[in-house]
Amino acid sequence: MSRDEPAPARIVERRPEIPEGLATLKSPLLQRLYAGRGVRHAEELEYTLAGLPHFRELRGIDAACALLEDAIDAAHRILVVGDFDADGATSTALVCDALHAMGAARVDHFVPHRARHGYGLSPAVVEAVGKGAPGDVIVTVDNGIASIAGVEAAHAAGWRVLVSDHHLPGETLPAADAIVNPNQPGCRFAGKRLAGVGVAFYLMAALRARLARRDPQRALPRMSDYLDLVAVGTVADVVALDHLNRTLVSQGLRRIQRGLARPGIAALIEVAGRDARRLNAADIGFAVGPRLNAAGRLEDMRIGVACLRAPDAASARTLASELSAINRQRQSVQRRMQSEADQALARLDQAPAQRAALVVHSDDWHEGIVGLVASKLRERHGRPVIAFAPGAHGMLKGSARSIEGLHIRDVLAAVDAGNDGLIAQFGGHAQAAGLSLRPEAIREFEHALEAAVAARLTPAMLSPDIVTDGMLADHELTLDTARLLESSGPWGAGFEAPLFHGVFEIVSQRIVGEKHLKLEVRPVGGLTVIEAMRFNHGQMLDSRRRYQLVYRLAVNVFRERMTANLIVADHRAAPDG
């Protein structure tokens, strides 16, 4: 084993007790899977809109709706300030379209440019959008809870400010005219894991209800029409799929599958080569979301918002194709940066496995890609990673990705508290965060981060376990089982797609696409021969050996023909005997 390789992961099987509340499920396999994900009652698997928590529980919702109602009635300007990722783009499109449909005469949006304006409602954004007339309103979506200086600048420029956000707040809240954020202090709303687009959906639903109470005859949009946007933004932002988020995603997927997606989302699905009739959350995460995110990483998220708001299929297809081209460019840049990051870690005095945290940076990296590099390094080395690139105003912009159990925003807060002025700005979540600092402070920051992480790491956090749902019997390796699993989601972050393990014999194998291994395998002692794919593994296995595979059972569609296959996540030679 080389100095840069982590210890081999242990394969650990979930062995949940099946609660009585799941006894009504006919499939013992589904009982096992759901119990392993903490589901206690079958009602938790019902994804109806009637079961959503009520918007009245959101702190600040009445003040926010009153602000928007006044702006609509008086034809004041409403400027939606978004974020440059898929969650921000879907939030921006949703609020702009919903406000327009509710009668707002002057709705516009502004998405900050990553390099020129930085994140969120900043003073640079206020300078770019100019002064507001009396009564004009800025609405932030998927940002704003950390925009203390930005809100102050907006007020000085004559704007009223409504902050809608889902990020964790700091010790001080911005002095906005209204704040809607389920994570702000004193908010009783149960859905603490909403994405920014989920908060935007609730805000617009509350406004619609307020306008309907005042005038029951008023023409108002159906909020269910926006659920395709909510599904895309929620999955792409990788928030935990608790019951509320699973409901929103499930409802959005149903609209898409029934052919009711807006033109922009339909076009993104088409250019990604996916079938909208069978779209699932993984398709959003791996095909639709990256195309939207690419615009904010390398170009300008205005392209993404324009695609989502496209009025017809032709214009949507043109914009979706442009987003696909940007995404291909992003992939090329990422490959180069990833290679350089690997080389930088290979030159360290200590192997990554001997460090508490990893910090990488380069003067010619792109700040829009460093988060992807950090994610890959985190997956490979099992350590929290922060990758830096040059940003605006001579600062370094960093993107942090953490491991399970280590709250990276809390780590950054501890570094900031113990090293006054070291970090210029930071914010984020438990698993991901962003920050900026002076280039000359990078080494001091690296030492401070190492100490802060080391003080919080536990052996359990560093245990490289692969947790599976056990084995599938020979008779379960079928298309029927694969289709059952596919239809029993949505699966995603915090509600992981089923993962199995077992020992297999190799029947045949070949390399496809230069770097992927395609196999036919048979479970030891079984009769079923099934195809398997090991992506990004360009070497043949020893066909004389038996291998323990960790895999997902998936539905494969080729030329309208459906088959079951294994998507292999890990393989290792099985013990003899």
Cβ contact 277:257 at 8 Å: yes
In SS3 terms, 152-213 reads as HHHHHCCCEEEEECCCCCCCCCCCCCEEECCCCCCCCCCCCCCCHHHHHHHHHHHHHHHHHH
Question: Distances from the Cα of 454 to the Cαs of 359, 375, 553, in angstroms?
Answer: 14, 20, 38
CATH class of 348-462: alpha beta
Binned at pLDDT 50, 70 and 90, residue 577 comes out as: low
What's the average model confidence in pLDDT over 514-519? 94
Of 377, 374, 455, the C-alpha closest to 411 is 455
What is the predicted pLDDT for the residue at 5?
A: 46
pLDDT at 430: 83
Residues 467-479: tens digit of each pLDDT: 999 999 999 999 9
What CATH number does the domain located at 466-573 have?
2.40.50.460
pTM of this prediction exceeds 0.75? yes
CATH numeric code, 49-322 = 3.90.1640.30
Please report the beta strands in 461-499, taking only residues with DSSP state E, as ranges in sequence order: 466-468
| 466-573 shares the fold of 348-462 | no
Q: Is the pLDDT of residue 505 over 80?
A: yes
- Is 111:82 a contact under the CB 8 Å cutoff? yes
Average pLDDT over residues 552-557: 95
Q: How does pLDDT run across 49-77, given as a tens digit for each residue?
A: 998 999 999 999 999 999 999 999 999 99
- Record the tokens describing residue 104, joined without a space: 């707002």
Amino acid (1-letter code) at residue 84: F
Sequence ranges of the domains in the chain: 49-322, 348-462, 466-573
Record the tokens describing residue 102, joined without a space: 């509710």
> Hey, which residues does 178 pair with through a beta bridge?
162
Specify the pLDDT at position 166: 96
pLDDT of residue 2: 39
pLDDT in tens, 93-134: 999 999 999 999 999 999 988 778 877 899 999 999 999 999
